[in-house]
Homo-oligomer: A and B are copies of this chain.
Amino acid sequence: MEIDTQNNFYGDKMYELAKKLFPLCRSITGKGLRDSLYILNEFLGERERERERERERLSIHSIPSGTSVYDWVVPDEWEINDAYIITPDGEKICNFKENNLYIVNYSEGINKELSLEELQQHLYSMENMPDAIPYVTSYYERRWGFCISHEQRKKLKNGIYKVFIDAKHYSDGVLNYADLIIPSTQNNSEEILISTYLCHPSLANNELSGPIVAIYLIKWLLAQKERKYTYRFVIVPETIGSIVYINQHLEQLQQFVKAGFVLSCVGDDKQYSLIHSPYENTLADKVAMHVLKNKVNFKEYTFIDRGSDERQYCSPLVGLPVVGICRTKYGNYKEYHTSKDDLNVISPQGLQGAFEAMQEIILNLEINEYYKSTTICEPNLGKRGLYQTINIQYAGSVSWAFLGYCDGKNDVLDIANILKIPAYELKEVINALKLHGLIK
């Protein structure tokens, strides 16, 4: 398995995919989410030769509204067709068809006239970012409401407003999510989990970037001839989706997941961020640190700073070895959860950077093993062409530096950390030592 970044810069293609997905009005349930999953599947491959490619496309699952999942209930499916406000002057504002952020996500339907005073209780704006529409949701309590820029809100005059929201909640609807298992080529049931979410409407970095990077990781992994691990990709609506997913797969996940990564806000080009698991001691933490610590503008966060689906995967009774991976972390860039988190926040370079970081993480996991030297004392590397036979000035070699720690107590990542080199640079050394029977 090799990083193919020298030949393949996918950033532009990823950005095109973002542009295609951007306009849809997604929520935790409903058509917007479903259509977005279909678009992702189209990207994964042509529909011809359906049967053969079955395993190379996302499986899209439907869970009935009302299903109990641990402490939660799968919410009703939401349908939204139109929404707007007519001002006393007859102006149509907060037009859903212009920007789906104008509507409080998961809002109830309404069709009513009311005073400005009454309307104000249903408006959401941000004083500290007066020209942006905020992204507001109300999933677990039924409300109706509009989001509006604070500038526009301040200009509203007294009088009678007409509010119209053509939205419905279906108790016989479903919640959708998608997953894809890419099997190990070595019949290894140990899994690497990559999870991301797709429930935000017209917002780019948070969150189209995660699913897009995931799709390209799927394409890259499917093209590999060898995969030590099985890879489990999960695309869900945030929170309730991962709870549903865990509810349906807990035993499998707890038994097989060796490391997992929640991708979120991976489209900008400013930073790299890691949100650690609670004790920062899992393989996911180790490999992510190993790769990310060398990135420019790397920021390390503790589990206290969590905010996405690592909350569920790492919760006390789930306890999976999962970390969060971001470029600039959610909540830490000013456009976050506003209409300003648009296609200008993400970039081909930003998406490509996240893609490459995840490739490095995967490559390091693929070569990671516990090796043990097979010889008492150092082996004679020189006679095998693994070391110079003429000795002038003192010179070590990566081979024997590596061998010195092959005592079965350290994995390749540990040794690479000791040697202060990227683990996947040890790949050739390991192959040569294995070929000569010097480690096992």
Interface residues of A, count at CB 8 A? 67
User: Looking across the interface, which residue of chain B has its beta carbon closest to that of A69?
Assistant: B377
Q: In the docked arrangement, what's the CA distance between A377 and B71, Å?
A: 8
Tell me the chain A residues, 293-340 only, with Cβ under 8 Å from chain B.
302-304, 306-307, 311-312, 314-319, 330-331, 336-337
A39 at the interface (CB under 8 A from B): no
Stretch among A215-223, A282-290, A350-358, A383-391 lining the B interface = A383-391
Q: In the docked arrangement, what's the CA distance between A396 and B379, Å?
A: 55
Chain B residues whose C-beta falls within 8 Å of the C-beta of A143 in the assembled complex: 390
Q: In the docked arrangement, what's the CA distance between A331 and B392, Å?
A: 11
Chain B residues whose C-beta falls within 8 Å of the C-beta of A139 in the assembled complex: 391
User: Looking across the interface, which residue of chain B has its beta carbon closest to that of A124?
Assistant: B392
A137 at the interface (CB under 8 A from B): yes
Q: In the docked arrangement, what's the CA distance between A239 and B400, Å?
A: 13
Min CB gap A401→B, angstroms:
6
CB <8 Å contact, A140 and B419? no
CB <8 Å contact, B317 and A373? yes
**SS class, residues of chain A in contact with chain B:** loop
* Interface residues of A, Cβ cutoff 8 Å to B: 69-72, 104, 124, 126, 134-141, 143, 239, 242-243, 246-247, 250, 278, 302-304, 306-307, 311-312, 314-319, 330-331, 336-337, 372-373, 375-380, 382-383, 389-394, 396, 400-401, 403-408, 418-419
CB <8 Å contact, A373 and B138? no
CB <8 Å contact, A380 and B330? no
Q: In the docked arrangement, what's the CA distance between A278 and B406, Å?
A: 11
Chain B residues whose C-beta falls within 8 Å of the C-beta of A311 in the assembled complex: 378, 400, 404
29 A-B residue pairings within 8 Å (CB atoms)? A71-B380, A72-B380, A124-B392, A126-B392, A126-B393, A138-B391, A140-B380, A140-B383, A141-B389, A242-B377, A246-B376, A246-B377, A247-B377, A278-B404, A303-B404, A303-B405, A304-B396, A307-B394, A311-B400, A315-B376, A316-B372, A316-B373, A316-B407, A317-B373, A318-B376, A330-B394, A336-B393, A336-B394, A337-B392
Contacts A390-B136, A407-B278 known; A312 to B141 CB distance under 8 Å?
A: no
Min CB gap A303→B, angstroms:
6
Min CB gap A41→B, angstroms:
27
Q: In the docked arrangement, what's the CA distance between A405 and B239, Å?
A: 18
Given contacts A138-B390, A139-B391, A312-B377, 9 further A-B contacts (CB under 8 A): A140-B380, A140-B389, A141-B389, A246-B377, A302-B418, A304-B419, A306-B404, A316-B404, A337-B394
User: Looking across the interface, which residue of chain B has its beta carbon closest to that of A383?
Assistant: B140
